[in-house]
Chains A and B, each alone.
Chain A
Amino acid sequence: MIETKINQDASPQRLLCASRRAVLVALVVATLGAKLQGSEKNTVVFTDVTVYVGNGDVIEHGVVVVRDGRIAQVGANLATPSGATVIELAGGSLTPGLIDANAAVEPTDRMMVDRRSPRQVVADLFHGAHVGHRGGVVGCCGSRCPRQLQHASGKKCPLCGFPEVRPGMAVGVRRSPMSVENSSEVIPQTRVLDSVNLGSADFERLLEGGVTTVFVAPDAGAVISSQGAIVRTGGRRGDRIVRESGAVMATMGTEPSRGGFGNNLPIGQFVNFYNRRPTTRMGVAWVFRKALYDTARFEKGEVVYGADVPSKPAMRVLRRVLAGDVALRIQARMQHDILSSIRLAGEFGLKFTLVEATEAHRCLQELKETGTPVIYGPIYIDAPGTRRFTAEVERARLHTLRALLSAGVPTALTAHELRDEDGLARQAMYAKRFGVSLADVTRCVTQTPARLLGLADEIGLVSKGKRADLVLWNGEPFGGVSRPVVVMVGGEVVLDRRKG
């Protein structure tokens, strides 16, 4: 299912803003239209570039004319309108701005930089300077570390790498659990947008990597987590938020049961309904089922009772999920978690998008039969980040994306929290190495995620009428020696490295 087919926020305020904006634009156009007629001040032209349209088509000696933030013309050997700003680069190629359909965005760029010496931090922790309310030691990454002893003895924390915090590794390198709401394992009423910092340097990192639009994904700490958001990585601030609340994220597997360590509380505290967490996949599936089952009862006006009843705000969102108004994503890595997701969603007649799907190559038949789209990635053999501690990544393979595409499963590629040499453009580069054609790979990071996010009218292709979110590369895109040199968001050049 293409998620968010009706996820345009229908709140009255936004409608009002939209109508106000329409009036304003009409006024501006009316007054300035006459003055600007004939002038090409707002026009930018990319000349003599190889255009990778995004759907597999390639235009040699392409010319792309951008006007008022939109793509006005695309074709081979077109004439350059006079007075327009010309951007050219010998041997360059143009792609749509890349779209990461499952990006984990670092909320702040200063969080990871602890300016105390590591020894001081350990001493502070030991003396209880920062003890979480549910017990347990809180690392400098803010997360409640299950490996309490390792913090205390100065060994490396598996979640944040503490005590090896170094200033240079702040930006976009660590995932912060500021986007993981730990109050309950069913929290679809929360929105990840509320904890996203649009000024975070992570967005600059993304932009430099050629990514212009991201679905900000909530962390996988809860069973049914927050609603994601779609934001642009650059451009005018007023234009940055594309969708305030997107799909609801759910997780199958190890991560939502990691909070179950809270069930082993220090002496003096007791496990109760307020702090009990699932510790196994059975528990995770139970929470998922109970939440949706209780929502269905709530919807019918029946009494909701028993343990682990989701909150009313949560159920109000989940009933829209059951109705198909709010899309559902499920992150599952292992084969049995993927099959469980299909089974669980099937119990409620729900369509969903599968996320990460490390072992998708073992479930191709089931994915094909249910028509489940997949947001696959990142590509790895030695799992980066906190995945390594989930024991779910042992059977990762390099051909999974190729297998998914060959089986005809609609698949988008994501880099999730990885940046720089493992960012989305490089994920595409890896995919090419492991057997995916350039045409397919380009689609996986442009047209397909645009479709999955319901934004195919606006972005994802270099074609007339779409937003001018474009990336100019100094060579063939997704190659070892090429990188984004010019990045344009909404017709505005936000990065230009042609001299550097």
Chain B
Amino acid sequence: MKRRLSMQVGLLLVLALAPSATASVPAKVALKGGKIIPIVGEEIDEGTVLIEQGKITAVGKDVVIPYDAMVVDVSGKVVMPGMIDAHSSRGLDIRNEHLGVSPFLDVYDALDPSKLYFEDALRDGVTSIHVIVGHNCVIGGLSRVVHPIGMTPDEMTDQPSVALKLSVAPKRGSDRMAQMATFRETFRELGEYLENLAEKKYEESLEKKGEKIKVGPDEAKKLGKDLITPEDYDDKHRNLVKLTRGQLGAFVYARRAGDVAAALSLARAHGFFDRTTLVLGPRCYKAIDEIKASGRPVVLDAQLLYREENPVTGKITETFLPRVYADAGVAFSLLPSSNTSLAERYLNYQAARCVRNGISRKVALKSITINPARALGIDDRYGSLEVGKSASVVVMSGDPLDFSSWVEQVYINGVRAYQRDKDIRLKQLLGEEKPEVSKPADDGKKDDLPAGTQKDDSHDNIGGGKSKETSKKAEKKKG
């Protein structure tokens, strides 16, 4: 996705937006007088959100505002929690790398803070982004949750090591048999590695004591098991061990309906079922019963409308996918689209589409706030406007489901990270501000070529009289 305006402007914007850790930001902010959508609980027509030291300390109609709080008047506007992108590969340089099984990779190494995607996310009111590798893998690597502000991956990071990405849909060039065989081999090899490690640890422990090994390998493996410490694992296996012990989330991608069962059985077999979030392609809606029965959170692909052609009659059936999940009572998260559509890139518009197709407003708004927070395990801090949660708050000019509403202000952990009236790039796109034009060094007075230059001008009058003038000038100079 290309932007036409200079990178310098972009960097300037990022600089303007990034709060430094030691900058003096108001410790207390009161967003007063706006309509509040807390997501959990009833909407408040006119109220105040109080932020102190980066946390929400009060939400309600009548909030006592401390004398030293910066009061921001948001009357006529809407205050809601920052939206959450539950699955994005757009902050990385490439979505996937060639190796199928790569649990030792970490998106931290590829995170690019200068990506325009982050600037757009902030502009669109997304305050938490789950950066994760794409679907083209077997086991893809470690993800993390970031804020769309900061000049380095460290500054951006909110939560490192959130989940491993797995895909039951085959990596490109492979097929499902090979994909599942690779999974089996990977976990078998992990078991073998752990046994060997246990044996080695037992031997080492005996060496330290100066004793000799007296038992067979099987016994040694059993005895050494409890001697293994987390530092002993190598990169290649560390994250897999965590995964099987429920210490890491698992985002498992299923492309078609049959993949859902495979994903769930894989998760059950290897100990990460309770940490699994299903990332579902459009066709998976047909497995809704299994999905519901599993009780696992679901992240839906950005393509919300699925068209299927009957191979015999040619008739096309349309399914609005979130409706299937909403009707079944499955908690789902929506994603912004990365295609060229102007509207689908907004998470709140994806929610509006849900309401348009018969889903309740409450469910639609949850699917872009608290549901992704729960799927990511960050709902203790994000996803709703509740006392004690981190103050990641968005102020919109109108209702989030109204496409004419704009994001006016964004607060991330209590710091105002975005203000629309200072958004230079947006102004330029909307024709509200002319870009700076650099002036020539000598103010453009000298428009003549150096003396003696052969001029290539035609004496036809096609270009108007100008060519004659310049050639006359040259003649004058010569003369």
Contact = CB atoms under 8 A, between A and B. Distances in A.
Contact of A381 (B282, B339, B342, B358): B342
Contact of A382 (B306, B340, B403, B431): B340
Contact of A421 (B309, B314, B353): B353
A398 B356 contact: no
A479 B429 contact: no
Given A110-B314, A432-B403, A481-B355, A397 B429 contact: yes
A379 interface: yes
Interface residues of A, number: 40
A416 interface: no
Interface string B398-442: 000111101000000000000000000000111110000000000
A83 interface: no
Given A113-B309, A433-B403, A433-B404, A383 B316 contact: no
Given A398-B429, A422-B341, A481-B352, A382 B2 contact: yes
A422 B431 contact: no
> Which residue, of A168, A398, A500, has the highest number of chain B Cβ atoms within 10 A?
A168
B434 to A, nearest CB: 12
Nearest to A483: B356
Nearest to A399: B431
B352 A480 contact: yes
Nearest to A167: B309
Interface residues of B, number: 33
A299 B216 CA distance: 105
B402 to A, nearest CB: 6
A38 B198 CA distance: 95
Contacts of B4: 394-395
Given A479-B402, A482-B356, A422 B342 contact: yes
Contacts of B282: 168
Contacts of B309: 113, 167-168, 170
Contacts of B308: 167-168
B403 A480 contact: yes
A467 interface: no
Given A168-B308, A171-B316, A420-B305, A397 B344 contact: no
Nearest to B354: A481
Interface in A416-431: 420-422, 426, 429-430
B430 A382 contact: no
A246 B4 CA distance: 37
A422 B429 contact: no
Contacts of A420: 305
B306 A168 contact: yes
Nearest to A168: B307
Contacts of B355: 481
A389 interface: no
Nearest to B308: A168
Nearest to A426: B343
Given A395-B4, A420-B305, A480-B349, A379 B314 contact: no
A399 B430 contact: yes
Interface string A155-185: 0000000000001101100000000000000
Interface string B369-402: 0000000000000000000000000000000011
Contacts of B429: 381, 397-399
B430 A397 contact: yes
A426 B353 CA distance: 12
Given A381-B429, A481-B352, A483-B356, A429 B307 contact: no
B224 to A, nearest CB: 49
B1 interface: yes
B430 A481 contact: no
Nearest to A204: B316
A479 B403 contact: yes
Nearest to B346: A480
Nearest to B314: A110
Nearest to A474: B356
A483 B353 CA distance: 9
A401 to B, nearest CB: 11
Contacts of B406: 433
A170 B316 CA distance: 10
A403 interface: yes
A383 B352 CA distance: 23
A126 interface: no
A439 to B, nearest CB: 14
A480 B432 CA distance: 24
B342 A481 contact: no
Given A168-B308, A422-B343, A480-B403, A435 B430 contact: yes
Interface in A388-426: 394-395, 397-400, 402-403, 420-422, 426
Given A170-B309, A480-B401, A421 B340 contact: no
Contact of B431 (A397, A426, A433): A397
Contact of A430 (B306, B307, B342): B342
Interface in A448-500: 474, 479-483, 500
B431 A403 contact: yes
A434 interface: yes
Interface string B207-249: 0000000000000000000000000000000000000000000
A384 B340 CA distance: 6
Contacts of A397: 428-431
A482 B404 CA distance: 13
A375 B432 CA distance: 23
B340 A398 contact: no
B2 A480 contact: no
Contacts of B430: 397-399, 434-435
B356 A421 contact: no
A201 interface: yes
A382 B1 contact: yes
A400 B428 CA distance: 12
Nearest to A476: B402
A329 interface: no
B396 to A, nearest CB: 12
B2 A429 contact: no
A421 B343 contact: yes
A57 B222 CA distance: 84
A361 interface: yes
Nearest to B357: A483
A201 B428 CA distance: 39
Nearest to A201: B316
A348 interface: no
Nearest to A430: B342
A486 to B, nearest CB: 15
A435 B432 CA distance: 11
Nearest to B355: A481
A163 to B, nearest CB: 12
Nearest to B342: A430
A480 B402 contact: yes
Nearest to B403: A480
B404 A398 contact: no
Interface in B83-103: none
A149 to B, nearest CB: 21
Interface of B: 1-2, 4, 282, 305-309, 314, 316, 339-344, 349, 352-353, 355-356, 358, 401-404, 406, 428-432
The 6 closest A-B CB pairs, nearest first, are A399-B431, A480-B352, A480-B403, A384-B340, A382-B340, A481-B355
20 contacts: A110-B314, A113-B309, A167-B309, A170-B309, A382-B2, A382-B340, A397-B428, A397-B429, A399-B430, A400-B431, A421-B341, A429-B403, A430-B343, A432-B403, A432-B404, A433-B406, A480-B352, A480-B353, A481-B356, A482-B356
Given A399-B431, A422-B343, 16 more contacts: A110-B314, A168-B308, A381-B342, A382-B2, A394-B4, A399-B429, A399-B430, A403-B431, A429-B343, A430-B343, A479-B402, A479-B403, A480-B401, A481-B352, A481-B355, A482-B356
